[in-house]
């Protein structure tokens, strides 16, 4: 907080020379004595006693302008804007030219409580003065733009109807920092509790969680005694499947700076002991407020490290690998282009990895911390941030907002709405600021025979550019998985596990505007045994042709890798069609397609004696041929293990 008026006061005190010459605007020795007593208690950080002395001085001499200015500064520091405004108004009534910054300070006080028209007038009054500091002149111009923006935003509000999540989530304590799984089944949040007397902590943060059933949030519970401690844990972010959590913890024995980022892994219902992410994520400076991408491959966080652009900046790092000890290794964090010279806070990366929400007090807005959105363009550059609008943003500090994978709803915490202090709310996102909708796929990975859970690697790959969109693991204990499916792509989805044949599926979601319903898919992996066969769902051909399309290459490389690792295998490639066309045509077409796959494998180094091919035409359907969906399923390529 600033103490600009007090600097003036100190100068005035110096002017009260040893010969007793009075340099104050009034002559009352009693009032001056009380004023100087206030200066003493102010240096001792006793604001209550300071205000008492100043009020007595003003009572003795109502036109004591220095006392009114001093009082305004103290009221500013304790956050009493209404009384601060009254004190500045009194000073201006006495002499509007006594201290030029009074107009600037009064404008700031009006801005702080959303009195934008009055603030605008005072900034204009201040800017009309000739001799003012260049710093305050720049700030006044910036705040004048805030006033103009705010008045326009209030005239054009966005839809905003927040709903309190209710007593099962919110309590008599403060709740904040909501984080959600992609399916919106799990909510994890921070609760500020009363500290335990024996450790002499007055307030202490812990994590709590709640499950949503039939659109109702169940009673919240502490997340884990392994993670929750008598110290503070907060500002958490979870992956789309709820398996990984990244959070902030401060003043830990294994810390690098004042606050560091930690992570914990969930297996079954149990969370692992938190681990410090280490360098290069954490440093000797302050790191906090992590936001982990849906698949856990990208991390955004806030730091005040000195190599940044502003005071608090948002940084971005990518996962390189999971090391032999199980810990992640990250790239050197990069400073985001959207950072300003002031503060950027509370980043949230949406499930599609293309849309970022953050708070900033360094951009034109409603006057304090506002929420903004930015999106990655076709060149992977962040767009110019857009203010989320009024009344999502107000003259209060808006810090922290998360958006569901579907993009239609947001969650945030607030103490400015009806609740029990700081509560968690949700609201329907206005259409004009929604991110592109992201669907999801979830289920379990199981042994095809025993139905026991399997720990497997799952990958989602863009068939057009071969980019890996997501790479996750199923749960070791229950086989659960969840993967997000951003719209606008053609996907190969695969599951692999040791001693099992791989599974592949195909999801075509090329229409970016179309919202696709989430899906439940249990994956049954077959052990590597003679006679086992799998469908190659990502081998594609030109229409009514045996020419293999380029996007089939990823799937064929999977098969090639399997054959190279198992050098004694002999397999059959089988081609299948739907029942369109004559039987002879279908047999011929499926046979040529099967042969084309064999030819690809032979050209890639597989001995032709290990390969057989056969066209089955429409003789072995796996779905009804009376719908296009059924016919598309029947048009397939399979491979079968003949010998191993």
Same topology, domains 4-155 and 170-433? Answer is no
Confidence of residue 141 (pLDDT cuts 50, 70, 90): very high
CATH class of 437-527: mainly beta
Please state the φ and ψ torsions of residue 304, each to the nearest 5 degrees.
Answer: -105, 25
Residues ≥6 apart with Cβ < 8 Å to 12? 23, 24, 66
Question: Over the stretch 252-269, which tens digit does the pLDDT of each residue have?
Answer: 999 999 999 999 999 999
Q: What is the pLDDT of residues 212-249, one digit of tens each?
A: 999 999 999 999 999 999 888 999 999 999 999 999 99
The fold adopted by the segment(s) 170-433 is Neuraminidase (2.120.10)
Does residue 494 carry a pLDDT above 90? Answer: yes
pLDDT at residue number 196: 55
**pLDDT tens profile 44-91:** 999 999 999 999 999 999 999 999 999 999 999 999 999 999 999 999
With cut-offs at 50, 70 and 90, classify the pLDDT of residue 18.
Answer: very low
CATH number for the domain formed by residue range(s) 529-644: 3.30.1330.60
Within a 13 Å sphere around the CA of 216, how many CA atoms are in the beta-carbon half?
A: 5
Mean pLDDT of 79-106: 95
DSSP string, 422-437: SEEEEEEPPGGGPPPP
What is the rounded average pLDDT of the residues 384-406? 96
What is the percent of the chain where pLDDT is above 90? Answer: 87
Listed by start position, the domains of the chain span 4-155, 170-433, 437-527, 529-644
Tell me the average pLDDT across 342-367: 96
**Whole-number mean pLDDT of the chain?**
92
Torsion of the alpha carbons at 340, 331, 457 and 559, rounded to the nearest 10: 110
> Which CATH number applies to 4-155: 3.40.50.300, 1.25.40.10, 3.65.10.10, 3.30.1330.100?
1.25.40.10
What is the bridge-based pairing of β-strands 519-520 and 438-447?
Answer: parallel
Mean pLDDT value across residues 298-325:
94
The model's pTM: 0.91
d(CA 533, CA 539): 15
**Strand 468-473 vs strand 480-486: parallel, antiparallel, or unpaired?**
unpaired
Give the pair of three-digit tokens for residue 335: 């400073």
Strand segments (E) across 214-366? 216-217, 221-222, 233-238, 244-250, 259-267, 270-271, 275-276, 287-292, 298-303, 313-322, 328-330, 334-335, 344-349, 355-360
């Amino acid at each position: 907080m600033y103490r600009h008026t007090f600097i003036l006061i100190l100068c005035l005190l110096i002017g009260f020379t040893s010969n007793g010459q009075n340099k104050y605007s009034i002559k009352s020795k009693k009032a001056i004595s009380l004023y100087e007593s206030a200066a003493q208690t102010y240096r001792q950080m006793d604001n209550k006693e300071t205000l008492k002395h100043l009020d007595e001085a003003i009572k003795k001499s109502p036109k004591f302008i220095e006392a009114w200015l001093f009082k305004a500064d103290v009221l500013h520091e304790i956050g009493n804007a209404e009384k601060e405004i009254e004190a500045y108004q009194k000073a201006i009534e006495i002499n509007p030219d006594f201290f030029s910054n009074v107009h600037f300070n009064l404008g700031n006080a009006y801005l702080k409580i959303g009195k934008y028209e009055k603030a605008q007038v005072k900034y204009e009054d201040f800017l009309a003065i000739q001799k003012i500091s260049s710093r305050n002149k720049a700030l006044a111009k910036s705040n004048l733009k805030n006033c103009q923006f705010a008045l326009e935003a209030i005239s054009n509000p966005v839809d905003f109807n927040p709903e309190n999540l209710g007593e099962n989530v919110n309590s008599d304590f403060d709740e904040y920092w909501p984080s959600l799984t992609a399916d919106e089944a799990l909510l994890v949040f921070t609760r500020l509790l009363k500290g335990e007397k024996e450790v002499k902590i007055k307030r202490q943060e812990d994590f709590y969680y709640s499950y949503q059933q039939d659109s109702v949030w169940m009673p919240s519970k502490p997340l884990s005694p392994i993670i929750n401690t008598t110290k503070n844990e907060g500002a958490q972010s979870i992956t789309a499947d709820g398996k990984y959590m990244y959070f902030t913890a401060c003043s830990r024995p294994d810390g690098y700076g004042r606050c560091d980022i930690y992570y914990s892994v969930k297996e079954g219902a149990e969370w692992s002991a938190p681990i410090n992410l280490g360098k290069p994520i954490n440093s000797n400076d302050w790191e906090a407020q992590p936001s982990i991408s849906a698949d856990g491959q990208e991390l955004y966080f806030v730091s005040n490290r000195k190599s940044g652009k502003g005071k608090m900046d948002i940084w971005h790092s990518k996962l390189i690998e999971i090391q032999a000890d199980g810990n992640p290794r990250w790239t050197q964090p990069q400073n985001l282009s959207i950072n300003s010279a002031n503060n950027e806070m509370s980043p949230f990366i949406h499930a599609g990895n293309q849309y970022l929400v953050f708070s900033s007090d360094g951009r034109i807005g409603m006057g304090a911390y506002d929420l903004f959105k930015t999106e990655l363009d076709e060149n992977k550059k962040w767009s110019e941030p857009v203010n989320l609008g009024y009344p999502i943003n107000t003259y209060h500090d808006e810090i922290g907002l998360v958006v569901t994978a579907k993009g239609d709803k947001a969650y945030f915490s607030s103490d400015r709405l009806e609740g029990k202090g700081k509560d968690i709310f949700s609201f329907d996102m206005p259409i004009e600021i929604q991110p592109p909708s992201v669907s999801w796929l979830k289920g379990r990975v199981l042994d095809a025979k025993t139905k026991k859970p399997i720990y497997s690697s799952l990958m989602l790959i863009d068939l057009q550019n071969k980019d890996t969109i997501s790479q996750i693991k199923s749960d070791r204990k229950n086989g659960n998985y969840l993967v997000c499916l951003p719209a606008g792509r053609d996907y190969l989805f695969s599951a692999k596990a040791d001693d099992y044949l791989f599974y592949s599926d195909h999801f075509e979601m090329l229409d970016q505007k179309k919202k696709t319903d989430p899906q439940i898919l249990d994956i049954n992996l077959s052990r590597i045994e003679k006679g086992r066969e799998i469908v190659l769902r990502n081998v594609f051909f030109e229409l009514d042709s045996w020419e293999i399309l380029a996007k089939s290459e990823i799937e064929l490389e999977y098969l090639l890798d399997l054959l190279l690792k198992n050098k004694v295998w002999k397999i059959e490639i089988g081609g299948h069609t739907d029942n369109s066309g004559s039987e002879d045509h279908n047999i011929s077409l499926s046979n040529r397609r099967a042969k084309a796959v064999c030819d690809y494998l032979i050209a890639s180094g597989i001995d032709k004696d290990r390969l057989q091919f056969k066209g089955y035409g429409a003789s072995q359907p796996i779905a009804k041929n009376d719908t296009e969906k059924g016919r598309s399923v029947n048009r397939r390529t399979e491979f079968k293990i003949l010998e191993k």
